[in-house]
Structure 1
Amino acid sequence: MERVDRLPPPTDAALQDDVADHADACAAVPLLNCLLREVAEPLPGPGERPVYRLPGGRLLRVRGGRRPAEPEVRAADGDWHRVGHTELVKLVAEELRRHTGLTNHELPTEMTDSRDAVAALLTARARATPPEDPYLRSEQSLLTGHTHHPAPKARGGGPHAGWLPYAPEAYARFPLTLLAVRADTVVEEGDTAALDALGDAPPGYRLLPAHPWQLDLTATALAPAFADGRLVRLGTTAFPTWPTAAIRTVYAPEYLPGHDLFLKFSLDVRITNDIRRLWRHDLLKLRRTDTAVTEAFDAIGSPATWLGDRGYRTADFAFEELAVVVRDGLRDRALPGATPLLAAALVEGFPDNPLAATTDPAAWWEAYLAAVVPPVLTAFADDGVVLEAHLQNTLVAVDADGTPVQALFRDAEGVKLLPDTPRTAGWERLVYCLVVNHLLEIAGALTEHHPGFAPWPAARAALARHDLPEIPALLTAPALPAKTNLLLRWTGADGAAARYRPLANPLLGV
């Protein structure tokens, strides 16, 4: 797999051309994945360049694999013509209009913005120093990002200078802005004591950290509160924070000596399918959801753990805009001597990636499955908890040899509880997140790095060990549910209204 994370410093026009080529390639991968999975018809035939029929009848071929590349369209004269990223965006838009009968002027712009963001990230990254901590390197490694989203790196269309200082992919780190909020306007629930340790608030006020990018985005809305004294700027934290792959969630490894934590903020920017604001309805159910997951993990009794969302604090006059969630850190959760790594980074690739480095892929995969699969299925079976165990919500801790020994799950906002969610819908969501979004991608990366390795017999065995009534159907179903992010965005559906299409089940016939 071609590496894009060790570019030399950009010193001339030739290097800028190289950055442009890398950006085109990175942006094409998830867009092609979406197009091929959601609307294209694969045609039979041998070769390393599979051919697909598009809704309008045109033929498209690509260099195959989990990272499709070098798209070509067959012309009327029978020749294949290479399609660059600009032409690919136009092609996707035309085919979606034919497929759905709908027009969408917003999504093609997002696709282009996503590609341009990658170019800006590559250029900034070439001048930056990656963090020494392997955990932070993994969180900040996702240049391509979501493997099946048409615009995974779009940042709301604003100027690059507005968001680059806060971009994890550019190895950013920054202090948080500290605000004082008038005490009679504070709304909070759960354990938010960690916020009071970030600084000192004047009498009659409470401390509230803020993401500086969010303050820029909401400056006009918050101006009256600053003017009348409901909000006061106190300066910044005495320590830097590192943005994680989620962008709006930051990690403070030393907010107090020997203590770490995560803080999750609102961010009024569309990232993948949603505006990433901490919505009121999610905050109001946060404690119930987090308590249910915490109790489920306490009962599991395995090394797996839950990074709890302890509580939230905000102001009543800007409930969603200024909300911050306090999340458990890693020090008290990861096994001693183990190094947590973001699961999505194992797929994307980063220096010292244990998935690529292992000399025994079968043993590594068995250990990975043993860490990740049982807690997800047990929480569902015993407590009706549907974890959103996709690649960005899962950390996998490895020992000194790089072998997985523990899974750490996060983000109560994405968790569903039965019976609030019907069991059938909850199981479909679990299968998509765990099997399609997660295990399928890890298995593909492992096979790519270790040709000839067959991952699915072990995965089938790991799932079959669990006495869930849904497991037999999962192992014999011809298809699995694959979320249609391209069609979701094209038709303007709400990001929470997941829609799925059948994807050939790799567990079948193993």
Structure 2
Amino acid sequence: MHDPSPAEAGPAAELAAVRPGLLPRYRAELPGARAAVLTRLWRALAHEPLPWVTGRVRDGHGLALRLADGRTLHGPHADPYATGAYVTAVRLDREHHTDPARLVSALGVPHAASFAGELGDSVASLALSRAGADHPREWPVRDWEWEQRVVDGHPFHPGCRARPGFSVADQLAYGPEHGPVVGLGTVAVPAARCLVSGQWPAELRDGDRLLVPVHPWQADRVLKRAYAPWRPAHPLMSLRTLALPGGPHVKTALSARLTSSVRDISPYSVEASAALTALATELAARTDGLLHVTRTLGAVTARTAELAALLRESPQVYAGPGERVLPVAALATTCLPDSPAWLAAFTRLALTAGLRLLDLGVALEAHGQNLLVVLSADGTPRRLVYRDLADIRISPARLARHGIAPPALAGRLVTDDETVLRRKLFGSLVAGALAGTAGSGPALGAALRAALPDLPRTADLAALREGPLPAKALTLMRLSPDTPGDQWAALPNPFVLEPGASGQ
């Protein structure tokens, strides 16, 4: 019997007050949520370059991790590309652990206390998400309905559902998996104080003032100011981006830590948005119709990351008659990836588009949230749609090699470092979107090998085939709050993983 942790008991008490009928389901979902988060944590312990893991020994019983303090952590073989919840317990010397938060506390490594708190929050939020999700078996019709089906969040991050600062009532009101309608508001700001990129619509202008769309959580908890009601909207996977019925998507500032990052919109992102849209549109036109990029229609900031918004095309505009557009993360909620032929076709499409754009000079952050697939009526993958250009990487040298004028941008988006460019694409697309869709290392390896003959023969493809696969070291990053930027793990090359292999 597992005694509920404070992170689990707190939401239970809140549920008893705000939605008591959901409490039994929440409690029933807790064991599975612990296993799901523990599985993600065990993957990180097995594969990330954590400084206090001094050795990894695989035997017939599983995997043993030698720790710097002399203890040993035992668990099952760790497939770095597996999804699901196959780890229900690990053993630290003689002590068994089923709770990821308590395991991290027992490890006692630097910054363990704060990370353990995030994991406890992730477990509780995941159990709440699973308890509240009640989606029909039929395929959705509207774009936001696909987003609501992605209940478990990030397939490999232990903080897959961490939402610190969100109460149970907040999650029920704003979490897409709960199917709410969110009433967006606006805050009026003198136009002279704002930075605008692209076209800001007349609907959001009031004389010499601009009306900036604001998420109600942001207005209440961060801005602490009143706002005017605007329009109802449906939250998407990122929670801060919402779909207006019949209209564009609205990306709002939301200064909360979700999974790893604080979600806001920097003035830099607003300033760069029009140039990024123009560049991405030009490059997408060179992919022979394989890839479309949703355009940022307009962006505004009150010159602060806490009050800003972007209006972006809905991916639905790129669907033809009878076609569906859905985030790649939602593919796992269908039976499509169960077919090796379908998975190979999708892998071929995604890698062909990603490699072409990389060769042209742009590395996409093509994880399962940003990358969408257009399916025909029979489920065949036809095209891709990419959204959110805020974290791509641009190579001026590669663009120039293809006769493309680099945009007048500087800062973190611009680099000619091949390692940085390849990490951006391969870490998000292969170690993220494709791995999460395949569900295991052997399935991913088989799909990659089947797709290989038709992929563009570039130096980037050779690098992907020959070396380990880069993936963000998500747990190392959470345990290294004083180290800025991304940190990376080197995962076993999925091209060589055979059926029955665990990758460790």
The TM-score bracket by the shorter chain reads 0.7 to 0.9
Tell me the distance in 2 between the aligned counterparts of 1:172 and 1:180: 26
The number of aligned residues is 452
| Secondary structure of 1:305 counterpart | strand
Asked if 2 retains the 8 angstrom alpha-carbon contact of 1:129 and 1:171, the reply is no
Say yes or no: does 1:89 pair with 2:81: no
The equivalent residue for 2:276 is: 289
Structure 1 residue 353 displacement after superposition: 4.3
1:430 maps to 2:422: no
1:53 and 2:45 aligned: no
Distance 1:209 1:128, change over 3 A: farther
Distance 2:210 2:47 in 1: 50
Asked if the contact 1:122/1:170 (under 8 Å) is kept, the reply is no
Once the two structures are superposed, residues 123-160 of structure 1 have per-residue CA deviations (whole angstroms, 9 ceiling, x without a partner) of: 43359999953643331223322122221211123422
C-alpha separation in 1, matches of 2:166 and 2:26:
22
| Aligned partner (choices 444, 466, 469) of residue 476 of structure 1 | 466
One-letter code aligned to 2:190: R
- 1:58/1:161 Cα in 2 relative to 1: closer, same or farther (>3 Å)? same
- 2-structure distance, mates of 1:412, 1:301: 20
Cα distance 1:379–1:340, how it changes in 2: closer, same or farther (>3 A)?
same
Residue deviations 1:422-454 (CA, integer Å, cap 9, x gap): 233112222211221122232236977x9xx93
Whether 1:333 and 2:351 are equivalent positions in the alignment is no
Query: What is the deviation of 1:411?
Result: 0.9
Q: Does 1:407 align with 2:384?
A: yes
Determine the structure 2 residue equivalent to 1:117.
125
1:143 corresponding residue in structure 2: 151
CA 243–494 in structure 1, closer or farther in 2 if over 3 Å, else same = farther
Which of structures 1 and 2 has the larger relative contact order (alpha carbons within 8 angstroms, sep 6+)? 2
Answer yes or no: is 1:251 the counterpart of 2:213: no
1:489 to 470, 478, 485: 478
Match for residue 258 of structure 2?
A: 271
- Give a deviation string over 1:321-354, Cα, whole Å, max 9, x none: 221111111332223321011111223x2xx443
Consecutive unaligned residues of structure 1, counting only runs of 5 or more, are: 1-8, 227-232, 255-259
2: CA distance, partners of 1:369 / 1:243: 28
Identity across matched positions, percent? 25
Structure 1 residues 396 and 153, CA gap change in structure 2 (3 angstroms): same
Say if 2:253 and 2:264, in contact at 8 Å, map to a contact too: yes
Distance in structure 1 (CA, Å) of the matches to 2:384 and 2:22 = 44
Instruction: Name the amino acid aligned to 1:431.
Output: F
1:378 and 2:353 aligned: no
Q: How far apart are the structure 2 equivalents of 1:505 and 1:438?
A: 16
* Residue 320 of structure 1, aligned match among 294, 302, 305: 305
Q: Within 5 Å, give how 1:51-450 maps onto structure 2.
A: 51-55=63-67, 56-62=70-76, 66=82, 67=84, 68-73=86-91, 75-76=93-94, 82-85=96-99, 88-95=100-107, 97=109, 102-125=110-133, 132-133=140-141, 135-193=143-201, 196-197=202-203, 202-220=206-224, 223=225, 233-237=227-231, 240-254=232-246, 260-316=247-303, 319-347=304-332, 349=333, 352-356=334-338, 361-382=339-360, 384-419=361-396, 420-421=414-415, 422-444=417-439
Q: Render the CA deviation track for 1:479-502: whole Å, top value 9, x for unaligned.
A: 11121110111010566x111122
Q: Which amino acid is 2:429 matched to?
A: L
Cα separation, partners in 2 of 1:15 and 1:331, compared to 1, 3 Å: closer
Query: How far did 1:93 drift?
Result: 4.2
CA contact (8 A) 2:435 2:441 kept: no
CA contact (8 A) 2:392 2:424 kept: no
After superposition, the Cα gap between the structure-2 partners of 1:14 and 1:428, relative to the gap in structure 1 and judged at 3 Å, is: closer
Check the 8 A contact 2:129/2:177 in 1, yes or no. Answer: yes
- With normalisation by structure 2, the TM-score equals 0.81
The answer (yes or no) to whether the contact 2:118–2:162 under 8 Å persists in 1 is yes
CA separation of 1:20/1:162 partners in 2, compared to 1, >3 Å: closer, same or farther?
Answer: same
Distance in 1 (CA, whole Å) between partners of 2:30 and 2:331 is 25
- Structure 1 residue 473: Cα displacement: 3.1
For residues 248 and 149 of structure 1, the distance between their equivalents in structure 2, rounded to whole angstroms, comes to 19
* TM-score, L = length of structure 1: 0.80
Counterparts of 2:169 and 2:47, CA distance in 1: 34
Q: Distance in 2 between matches of 1:132 and 1:498?
A: 35
